[in-house]
């Protein structure tokens, strides 16, 4: 079964934009904050294969070991990290953007992702429930990623000029 996902989430960090934008310099460190990431393999310049732990519930028989590849673009002047899928890798196609936005003395982290998961093993009787269930699981992963990123930013010491 194919399951589509589309998630948009935001979170405010009580730090000035200038303190947050260096986050984009550490692409791998930022990616590694994503929960359930089992393995991250570099495929080339700013291209990575993600292999994730099982997402869903084996008990409910709606579970999937997601893997996909993407190429990343970083544009610090726009506060933007974006990615597009690379074909021929894994069982999903995921694209999205992570954007930093000035919000007075704070910075807003905006995260948007969309894509398709392929070959999701779901028993026939659970098929109507699978898409919202899996979307909910992914939404929680995104929320956790944003929370981890905020915590890392708040713990980081300011750079000296």
Structure tokens at 160: 């000296």
pLDDT digits 0-9 by tens, 37-55: 999 999 999 999 999 998 8
Structure tokens at 45: 């310049």
Q: What are the C-alpha distances in Å from 95 to residues 6, 46, 82, 83?
A: 10, 14, 8, 5
Q: Would you state the pLDDT for residue 111?
A: 97
Q: Contact 27/72 with Cβ under 8 angstroms?
A: yes
Tell whether the torsion through CA atoms of 30, 73, 54 and 128 is positive or negative: positive
- Read off the pTM: 0.90
| Count of domains for the chain | 1
Q: Which domain holds residue 150?
A: 3-155
Mean pLDDT of 12-34: 94
CATH number reported for the structural domain that contains residue 13 in this entry: 3.30.530.20
Asked if the structure places residue 160 within a domain, the reply is no
Beta bridge partners of 108: 12, 101
pLDDT digits 0-9 by tens, 97-143: 999 999 999 999 999 999 999 988 888 888 888 889 889 999 999 99
pLDDT digits 0-9 by tens, 5-22: 999 999 999 999 999 999
Asked if the structure places residue 60 within a domain, the reply is yes
Whether 161 shows a pLDDT value over 80: the answer reads no
**Residue carrying structure tokens 């890798």:** 89
Asked if the structure places residue 161 within a domain, the reply is no
Pairing of strands 80-90, 37-44: unpaired
Asked if the structure places residue 69 within a domain, the reply is yes
Mean pLDDT of 155-160: 67
Using only C-alpha atoms, the chain has a radius of gyration, in whole angstroms, of 17
Whether 28 shows a pLDDT value over 70: the answer reads yes
Q: Would you state the pLDDT for residue 127?
A: 86
Strand order in the sheet with 62-75: 3-13, 106-117, 92-103, 80-90, 62-75, 47-57, 37-44
């Amino acid at each position: 079964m194919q399951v589509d996902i589309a998630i948009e989430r935001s979170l405010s960090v009580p730090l000035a934009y200038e303190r947050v934008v260096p986050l984009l310099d550490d692409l791998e460190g930022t990616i590694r904050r994503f929960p359930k990431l089992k393995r991250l393999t570099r495929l080339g310049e700013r291209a990575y294969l993600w292999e994730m732990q099982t997402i869903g519930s084996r008990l409910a028989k709606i579970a999937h070991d997601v893997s996909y590849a993407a190429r990343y673009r970083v544009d610090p002047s726009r506060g933007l990290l974006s990615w597009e899928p690379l074909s021929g890798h894994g069982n999903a196609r995921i694209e999205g953007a992570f954007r930093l936005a000035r919000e007075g003395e704070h910075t807003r982290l905006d995260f948007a992702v969309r894509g398709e998961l392929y070959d999701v093993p779901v028993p026939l009787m659970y098929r109507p429930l699978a898409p919202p269930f899996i979307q909910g699981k992914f939404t929680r992963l995104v929320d956790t990623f944003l929370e981890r990123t905020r915590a890392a930013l708040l713990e980081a010491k300011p750079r000296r000029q």
